[in-house]
Amino acid sequence: MAWNVKPEELLQYDYKVPQKNWMDVPPEFKPGTWCYPAKAEILEYLNKATKGDFPHIREWVPTDADWKLPEDWRERIKKGFRERLDKYRSFKVFMDVCVRCGACADKCHFYIGGGDPKNMPVLRAELLRSIYRGEFTLAGKILGRLAGARKLEEDVIKEWFLYFYQCTECRRCSLFCPYGIDTAEITMMARELLHLVGCNINWILEPASNSNRTGNHMGIQPHAYYGMMEFMCDDIEEITGVKVNCPVNEKGHEVLFITPSGDIFADPGTYTYMGYLMLFHEIGLDYTWSTYASEGGNFGLFTSDRMMKKLNAKMYAEAKRLGVKYIIGGECGHMWRVLNQYMDTMNGPADFLETPVSPITGTRFDNAAGTSMIHITEFTSDLMKHGKLKLDPSRNDDKIVTFHDSCNPARAMGLLDEPRYVIQNVCNNFVEMPEDTIREKTFCCSGGSGLNTDEFMEMRMRGGIGRGNALRHVQQKNGVNTLATICAIDRATLPPLARYWAPGVEVYGVHELVANALVMTGEKPREVDLRQEPLPGME
Partner 1 sequence: MNALYSLFAVFALVVIALVGAGAAGMEQLFGLYIPWLAIAVFLLGFVAKVIGWAKSPVPFRIPTTGGQMKSHDWIRHDKYDNPATAGQTFVRMALEVLLFRSLFRNIAVQRFGSAADGVDVKVRYASAKWLWLFALIFHYSFLVVFIRHWRLFLDPVPSFIVALEAVETFLQIGVPTLYMSGAALVLGATLLLLRRFLVPQVRYISQAADYFPLFLILGVALSGIVMRYWAKTDIMAVKEVTMALFSLNPAVHIEGVGAIFFVHVFLVSCLIAYLPFSKLMHMGGVFLSPTRNLPNDSRARYHRNPWNDPNVKAHSYTAYEDEFREKMIEAGLPVEKTLEEAAKTEAQ
**Residue 32 CB coordination number (10 Å):** 17
Burial 77-97 (b: 16+ CB within 10 A, else e): bbebbeebeeeeeebeebbee
Select from ligand SF4, partner 1, none the partner in contact with residue 36, using the beta carbon and a kind-dependent cut-off of 5 to 8 Å.
none
Using CB under 6 A, count the residues that bind ligand SF4: 28
167 CB-near residues (< 8 Å, 6+ apart): 108, 110, 119, 121, 124, 183, 184, 187, 449
294 is an interface residue for partner 1 by CB under 8 A: no
Is residue 366 a contact residue for partner 1 (CB under 8 A)? Answer: yes
Task: Give min distance, CB of 268 to partner 1, in A.
Answer: 21
C-beta neighbour count of 15 within 10 angstroms: 13
Q: Least Å distance between CB 449 and ligand SF4?
A: 8
Mask 143-182, x = binds ligand SF4 (CB under 6 A)?
Answer: ------------------------xxxxxxx---xxx-x-
DSSP 530: T
Q: Which does 168 bind (CB under 5 to 8 A by kind): ligand SF4, partner 1, none?
A: ligand SF4
Query: To the nearest whole angstrom, how small is the minimum distance from the Cβ of residue 127 to ligand SF4?
Result: 11
17 binds partner 1 (CB under 8 A): yes
CB of 437 to partner 1, least distance (A): 8
- Residue nearer to partner 1 on the CB measure, 341 or 428: 341
From the list ligand SF4, partner 1, none, pick the one residue 124 interacts with, judged by a Cβ distance below 5 to 8 Å according to partner type.
ligand SF4
Based on the shown chain and the rule CB under 8 A, indicate whether residue 346 belongs to the binding site for partner 1: yes
Considering the rule CB under 8 A, would residue 15 count as an interface residue with partner 1? yes
Does 17 interact with ligand SF4 (rule: CB under 6 A)?
A: no
Question: E strands within 352-434?
Answer: 373-375, 401-404
Using CB under 8 A as the binding criterion, the count of chain residues that bind partner 1 stands at 128
Restricting to residues 43-102, name those near ligand SF4 by CB under 6 A. 98-102
CB of 105 to partner 1, least distance (A): 5
Q: Which residues in the 147-176 window bind partner 1 by CB under 8 A?
A: 147-148, 171, 174-176
465 scored as a contact of ligand SF4 (CB under 6 A): no
Q: Does 472 bind partner 1 (CB under 8 A)?
A: yes
Closest distance to partner 1 from the beta carbon of 174 (Å): 4
Buried b (16+ CB within 10 A) or exposed e, 298-316: bbbbbbbbebbbbbbebbb
Select from 303, 296, 293 the least CA-distant residue to 329.
Answer: 296
- Return the one option of ligand SF4, partner 1, none that residue 183 interacts with (CB less than 5 to 8 A, by type): ligand SF4
Measured CA to CA, the distance from residue 338 to residue 332 in angstroms comes to 11
Residues 95/85, Cβ–Cβ less than 8 Å: yes
Among the residue ranges 260-268, 275-283, 368-376, 387-395, the one whose residues contact partner 1 (CB under 8 A): 368-376
- Cβ neighbors of 505 (< 8 A, separation 6 or more) are 471, 475, 480, 481, 482, 483, 498
Q: Residue 74 binds which entry of ligand SF4, partner 1, none, with Cβ cut-offs from 5 to 8 Å by kind?
A: none
- Of residues 115-134, those binding ligand SF4 (CB under 6 A): 121-122, 124
Nearest to 495 by CA among 345, 275, 271: 271
Identity of the residue, 67 or 225, whose beta carbon is nearer to partner 1 in the bound complex: 225
CB 538 within 8 A of CB 529: no
Q: Quick one: which H or E segment has residue 212?
A: helix 202-214
| Closest C-alpha among 468, 451, 359, 499 to residue 404 | 468
Cβ partners under 8 Å of residue 331, min gap 6: 259, 260, 263, 272, 376, 377, 485, 486, 487, 488, 509, 510, 511
* Nearest to ligand SF4 of 101, 431 (CB atom): 101
Span 424-443, contacts to partner 1 by CB under 8 A: 434, 436-437, 439-441
How distant is the alpha carbon of residue 434 from its chain centre? 22
Give the residue from 293, 486, 279, 480 showing the smallest Cα distance to 377: 486
Our finding on whether 410 is near ligand SF4 (CB under 6 A) is no
Q: Which residues form the interface with ligand SF4 (CB under 6 A)? A: 98-104, 107-108, 110, 121-122, 124, 167-173, 177-179, 181, 183-184, 187, 444
